[in-house]
Amino acid sequence: MSVEKEKILVQKYGGTSVGTTERIKIVAKRIKEYYEKNFHVIVVVSAMGKSTDALVALSKEISENPSDREMDMLLATGEQVSIALLAMALHEIEVPAVSFTGSQINLLTDGRFSKARIEKIDTNKLLTALEKKMVCIVAGFQGIDLEQNITTLGRGGSDTSAVALAAALEAKECEIYTDVDGVYTADPNKIPAAKKLSKISYDEMLELASLGAGVLHSRAVEFAKKYNVILHVRSSFNFNEGTLVVPEDTDMEKLLVTAVTLKKDEARVTVSDIPDRPGIAADLFAALGDVSINVDMIVQSTGKDNLNTISFTVLKNDVLKAEKVVKELLTSWGAGGASVDKNIAIISAVGVGMKSHVGIAARMFKVLAENGINIEMISTSEIKISCVIRDDKSEEALKLIYSIFGLENA
């Protein structure tokens, strides 16, 4: 007997979905329904609830700076708990199921601990189990490198495990179960009228993921786009249809803007009066990269009197580290000053419709201006406009921008 590809379904359940044993039993029942409809179900799970955070906290009780290898060894245990419990819950309701760690299915990654990238997946074990009508439960977030070290894919990485498995098995769809109903036109906690999108393109989803609409891990979306895996983001708390993440189609371009987001976890570093010569920006951002600080927006003003100002944003958590790096450089250059501003927010509008409609940025800037909201930095891509504004104006800005693009009628 061989496994019919059309019938392979990959389902990923996040931490909240398997947060308690009660929740695990509910998830098991849900899996049973698909199993009984003759799907070959591959389930990828995250660690229960906030258990990965708890493991991080444990390590901190021992060491401020634990070895990366041991950290991955520790964090990977969270998923080993949830796969075993879910397999047991399935056995209790008479569904044959078997759990696998990343190493047991040879999910090969490079050796970069805590941010490993998947290189190869051996599907043999899974296909053999599927042939025997077993549900396969795979630990998300983890893999193994060539030297048999346990690696992890970065926080939130179970999404990526699921999409990679779906790609390797050529599954039709990968369902991502979470605690929200799908992807919304804005955060419903801030805009109660926000609507669930029935579909969104990979590129829009990538922008939204990096703008902090935390429903999907960006790497997972990149993978899905590369291998054409359709993602279905939906809730494990009900049976509503969620949001499909799919290739772009012409319908999508009819909308001006698909979603509006607000990001409040970044801070700005301004480096002023630095020499206006080749190599300064390269040195600055190389030094930040060396300590693994991710820089988001960058603005450099036009030089004057052979001096320049460069501003950039980083996660608030990284800002002190960034300031330290900058100050060391300033000493080596013998020039300049640095300051940090934590009271900023980044407001963005995203939509593939921007490719075919002009004047979207102008409309956004105008509504901010009319309401006395100053724009401090701007960055754009083909399908996104982002502005840095004062944090205390950000909720107001979100509502204004939401309404001018007619998202309430989306």
What does the binding site for ligand ASP look like in residue numbers (CB under 6 A)? 15, 46-47, 52, 78, 140-141, 155-158
CB of 160 to Mg ion, least distance (A): 10
Nearer to Mg ion, 45 or 344 (CB): 45
Q: Which two tokens stand for residue 86?
A: 């879910």
Q: Distance between CA atoms of 301 and 303, rounded to whole angstroms? A: 6
What 8-state DSSP symbol labels residue 133? T
Judged by CB under 5 A, does residue 19 bind Mg ion? no
Give residue 339's identity as a one-letter amino acid code.
Answer: S
How far is CA 33 from each of CA 29, 39, 171, 206, 227, rounded to the nearest angstrom? 7, 9, 18, 31, 27
CB of 141 to Mg ion, least distance (A): 8
What 8-state DSSP symbol labels residue 259? E
Residue closest to Mg ion, measured at CB: 14
How far is CA 370 from each of CA 81, 84, 203, 374, 397, rounded to the nearest angstrom? 54, 57, 31, 10, 11
Nearer to ligand ASP, 214 or 337 (CB): 214
How many residues at the interface with Mg ion, by CB under 5 A?
A: 3
- Torsion of the alpha carbons at 106, 107, 109 and 111, rounded to the nearest 10: -50
Nearer to ligand ASP, 140 or 336 (CB): 140
Which partner from the list ligand ASP, Mg ion, none does 394 bind, CB cut-off 5 to 8 Å by kind?
A: none
Q: Distance between CA atoms of 8 and 230, rounded to whole angstroms? A: 13
Nearer to Mg ion, 46 or 160 (CB): 46
**Alpha carbon 1 to chain centroid, angstroms:** 38
The single residue listed with the structure tokens 């019938």 is 7
Which partner from the list Mg ion, ligand ASP, none does 52 bind, CB cut-off 5 to 8 Å by kind?
A: ligand ASP
Which partner from the list ligand ASP, Mg ion, none does 141 bind, CB cut-off 5 to 8 Å by kind?
A: ligand ASP
Task: Kindly tell me which residue out of 8, 9, 10, 14 binds Mg ion, with binding defined by CB under 5 A.
Answer: 14
Termini Cα distance of the chain:
47
Residue pair 217/393 in contact (Cβ under 8 Å)? The answer is: no
Nearer to Mg ion, 78 or 156 (CB): 156
- State the binding string over 139-178 for Mg ion (x if CB under 5 A, else -): -----------------x----------------------
Q: Which residues of 251-269 are buried (b: 16+ CB within 10 A; e: fewer)?
A: ebbebbbbbbbbbeebbbb
CB of 294 to ligand ASP, least distance (A): 17
CB of 202 to Mg ion, least distance (A): 19
Q: Distance between CA atoms of 109 and 225, rounded to whole angstroms? A: 20
Which partner from the list ligand ASP, Mg ion, none does 78 bind, CB cut-off 5 to 8 Å by kind?
A: ligand ASP
- State the binding string over 34-73 for Mg ion (x if CB under 5 A, else -): ------------x---------------------------
Enumerate binding residues for Mg ion (CB under 5 A): 14, 46, 156
